[in-house]
């Protein structure tokens, strides 16, 4: 009789007997079960992905995806309503638009990866801080389609049959004619400036909303602490009220920060009076006379000595900023806007800079808790010390509160990888038409972008004042130098250093070999060269498609336009020329670069 063979290989032995299994039975064990389970789940996931992908690639349906980072309450619902209207209108053409909301924090990386992979959504939201979606011109030129040709045509969705929701107060024949027959560009409040790229000399996006900011005033706290029944009318009155609030807080044993602020609120305050102080620099800084002062022009002017940081206008502007910041929570640079809103609602602050995109959040937070009013940012009266003497007459008499430099936001562009760019463009026309943009704005509590539109009643205080001047000094986008100046500016606003210290340290860095203005010139030049590479790639791809018969019907026109773009860049020679004019004794690139 055969004795059971003891085996150390328990996996293929019958338990306890030592008999080896043979044939298919040797696979009956837990490892096999685990493997089958793993393969099964993986296979199921792959099948799901393939099925979903097949739906998107269904030749009978045309899917157009639109992505954004606006997760605020109301936006997605409002956009979905517009999308549903569009899908219904084009049901016979089997078009389906779908939105994809991505968290703002990861949106740049997510979009970048998808752009490189070639499967980015057809329409993507553009943003100034997102390098791959608007922050740099070469990224925009590389990834998005220029729309200059299209915006000169009328918007078909502004035809008379769609103009049935114009407010009677605004309904005039001139408005109707402008909407129906004017170019698409003329139907937007900002003239499509929100989608204009100055350095690319073309339009790359369509704005769908207008953003402004106002000052929210906690009347409950203000009345209790200062006895005022009305919000302050001037900046001087507001600062006096702030001091009274602090004193009242000390008496009550409460910590009161008169103005609730987070890290991004100061810009709203400063922007409200920057124009009045700084517009007069424009005639010195705007070298190419295009009506705008770019950051390169500003930094180059500082380097050349055309303007100095300690000029009376700039010094006065920063002195006023200091007075405003003195009323903030000292930790404001580290705070989020939710914390600022919480302080306002909890009665620890009486004033809050309120952007129009936050209006809904503020309204719902204050409902039944705080009596608040919205107002334009108060400016110094001519006789107030904050007006800085002669400079103050600007506010007292001539300029006033100006949002002339404002432009549209929530801008969307069409990616070059879009499968149906014509449908994408058509949807953008739909979204920015009078009827549907007004509906979109009312639903999500924003300001509409189209002329002759009115927002929801509670948003009318946010309607922009388009008359006035724009700032003549722009020190943003300065790379490491701008970061350095921002660091010193923060110290000044924290009262740790004087303004003269800021002037001295920043001026000393203007010609620093590591972070100075020469680096900005070089990066400006290399940026243009980067754009040219992208354009050359686009030309090559489009030309190849035309050659093999896979091009779109308008491919030849598109190639011609791109060639014109390429010519305009002129290999960055414009930058070289400008540098040479300012520095006749120096060659380009600057020494050591």
**Which residue ranges make up the site for other proteins (CB under 8 A)?**
9, 11-12, 26, 31-32, 34-35, 38, 42, 108-109, 112, 115-116, 129, 131-132, 135-136, 138-139, 142-143, 255, 263, 329-335, 339, 479-480, 483-484, 486-488, 490-491, 494, 496, 513-515, 530, 533-534, 537
Question: Which of 150, 482 has the CB closer to other proteins?
Answer: 482
Question: Which of 95, 340 has the CB closer to other proteins?
Answer: 340
Question: Which of 55, 250 has the CB closer to other proteins?
Answer: 250
Supply the minimum distance, in Å, between the C-beta of residue 129 and other proteins: 8
Measuring CA to CA, which residue among 160, 210, 168 is closest to residue 452?
168
Q: Would you say 418 and 412 are in contact if contact means Cβ atoms under 8 Å apart?
A: no
- Burial status of residue 590 (CB atoms within 10 A of its CB: 0-12, 13-18, 19 or more): middle
Structure token digits, residue 263: 């890290």
Supply the minimum distance, in Å, between the C-beta of residue 323 and other proteins: 17
- H/E stretch holding 248 reads helix 235-252
Structure token digits, residue 368: 């039944």
Question: Which of 253, 549 has the CB closer to other proteins?
Answer: 253
- H/E stretch holding 138 reads helix 137-143
Compute the distance between CA of residue 593 and CA of residue 590 in angstroms, rounded to an integer: 6
Supply the minimum distance, in Å, between the C-beta of residue 331 and other proteins: 4
Supply the minimum distance, in Å, between the C-beta of residue 526 and other proteins: 8
Question: Which of 151, 256 has the CB closer to other proteins?
Answer: 256
- H/E stretch holding 139 reads helix 137-143
Question: Which of 533, 560 has the CB closer to other proteins?
Answer: 533
Question: Which of 533, 581 has the CB closer to other proteins?
Answer: 533
Neighbour order of strands in the sheet with 372-375 = 259-260, 351-355, 213-218, 372-375
Question: Which of 14, 371 has the CB closer to other proteins?
Answer: 14
Compute the distance between CA of residue 127 and CA of residue 108 in angstroms, rounded to an integer: 9
State the number of CA atoms in the 13 A half-sphere of 356 facing the CB.
28
Torsion sign (Cα): 71, 75, 80, 82: negative
Q: What is the 3-state secondary structure (H, E, C) of 397-425?
A: HHCCCCCCCCCEEEEEEEECCCCCHHHHH
Question: Which of 537, 581 has the CB closer to other proteins?
Answer: 537
Compute the distance between CA of residue 112 and CA of residue 115 in angstroms, rounded to an integer: 5
Question: Which of 143, 471 has the CB closer to other proteins?
Answer: 143
Q: Which residues pair with 206 in a beta bridge?
A: 412
Strand segments, DSSP code E, in 158-282 are: 196-197, 202-203, 206-210, 213-218, 259-260
Supply the minimum distance, in Å, between the C-beta of residue 490 and other proteins: 4
Supply the minimum distance, in Å, between the C-beta of residue 116 and other proteins: 6
337-345 vs 359-366: helix axis angle to the nearest 10?
30
Supply the minimum distance, in Å, between the C-beta of residue 151 and other proteins: 26
> Tokens 């219904």 identify what position?
88
Question: Which of 139, 447 has the CB closer to other proteins?
Answer: 139
Give the three-state DSSP class for 552: coil
- DSSP per position, 250-309: HHHT----SEE--TTSHHHHHHHHHHHHHGGGHHHH-TT-SS---HHHHHHHHHHTSS-T
């Amino acid at each position: 009789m055969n004795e059971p063979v003891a085996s150390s290989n328990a996996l293929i032995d019958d338990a306890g007997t030592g008999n080896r299994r043979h044939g298919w039975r040797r696979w009956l064990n837990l490892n096999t079960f685990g493997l089958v389970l793993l393969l099964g789940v993986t296979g199921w996931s792959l099948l799901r992905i393939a099925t979903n992908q097949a739906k998107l690639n269904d030749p009978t349906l045309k899917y157009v995806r639109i992505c954004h980072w606006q997760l605020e309450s109301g936006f997605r619902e409002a956009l979905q309503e517009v999308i549903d209207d569009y899908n219904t209108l084009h049901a016979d053409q089997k078009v389906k638009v779908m939105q994809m909301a991505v968290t703002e924090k990861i949106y740049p990386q997510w979009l970048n990866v998808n752009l490189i992979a070639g499967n980015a959504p057809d329409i993507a939201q553009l943003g100034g801080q997102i390098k791959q979606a608007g922050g740099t011109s070469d990224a925009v030129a590389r990834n998005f389609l220029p729309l200059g040709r299209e915006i000169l045509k009328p918007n078909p969705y502004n035809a008379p049959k769609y103009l049935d929701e114009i407010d009677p107060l605004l309904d005039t024949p001139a408005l109707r004619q402008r909407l129906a027959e004017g170019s698409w560009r003329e139907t937007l409040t900002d003239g499509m400036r929100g989608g204009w790229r100055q350095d690319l000399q073309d339009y790359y996006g369509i704005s769908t909303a207008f953003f402004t900011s106002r000052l929210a005033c906690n009347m409950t706290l203000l009345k209790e602490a200062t006895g005022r029944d009305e919000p302050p009318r001037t900046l001087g009155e507001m600062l006096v009220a702030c001091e009274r609030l602090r004193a009242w807080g000390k008496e009550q044993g409460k910590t009161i920060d008169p103005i609730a602020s987070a890290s991004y609120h100061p810009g709203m305050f400063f922007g409200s009076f920057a124009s009045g102080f700084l517009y007069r620099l424009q005639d010195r800084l705007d070298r190419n006379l295009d009506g705008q002062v770019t950051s390169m022009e500003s930094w180059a002017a500082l380097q050349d000595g055309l303007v100095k940081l300690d000029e009376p206008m700039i010094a006065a502007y920063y002195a006023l900023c200091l007075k405003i910041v003195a009323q903030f929570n000292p930790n404001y640079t580290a705070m989020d806007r939710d914390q600022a809103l919480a302080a306002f609602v909890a009665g620890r602050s009486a004033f809050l800079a309120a952007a129009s995109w936050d209006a809904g959040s503020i309204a719902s937070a204050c409902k039944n808790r705080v009596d608040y009013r919205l107002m334009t940012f108060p400016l110094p009266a001519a006789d107030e010390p904050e007006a800085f003497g002669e400079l103050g007459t600007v506010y007292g008499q001539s300029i006033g509160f100006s949002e002339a430099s404002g432009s549209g936001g929530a801008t969307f562009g069409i990616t070059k990888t879009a499968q149906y760019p014509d449908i994408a463009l058509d949807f953008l026309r739909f979204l920015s038409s009078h009827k549907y943009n007004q509906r979109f704005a009312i639903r999500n509590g924003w300001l509409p972008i189209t002329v002759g539109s009115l927002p929801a009643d509670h948003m009318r205080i946010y309607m922009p004042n388009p008359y006035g001047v724009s700032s003549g000094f722009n020190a943003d986008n300065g790379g490491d130098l701008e970061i350095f100046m921002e660091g010193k500016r923060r110290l000044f606003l924290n009262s740790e250093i004087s303004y003269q210290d800021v002037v001295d340290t920043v001026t000393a860095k203007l010609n620093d070999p590591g972070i100075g203005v020469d680096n900005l010139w070089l990066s400006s030049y290399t940026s243009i060269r980067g754009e040219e590479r992208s354009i050359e790639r686009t030309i090559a791809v489009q030309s190849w498609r035309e050659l093999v018969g896979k091009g779109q019907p308008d491919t030849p026109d598109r190639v011609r336009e791109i060639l014109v773009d390429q010519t305009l860049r002129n290999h960055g020679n414009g930058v070289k020329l400008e540098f040479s004019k300012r520095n006749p004794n120096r060659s380009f690139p600057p020494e050591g670069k």
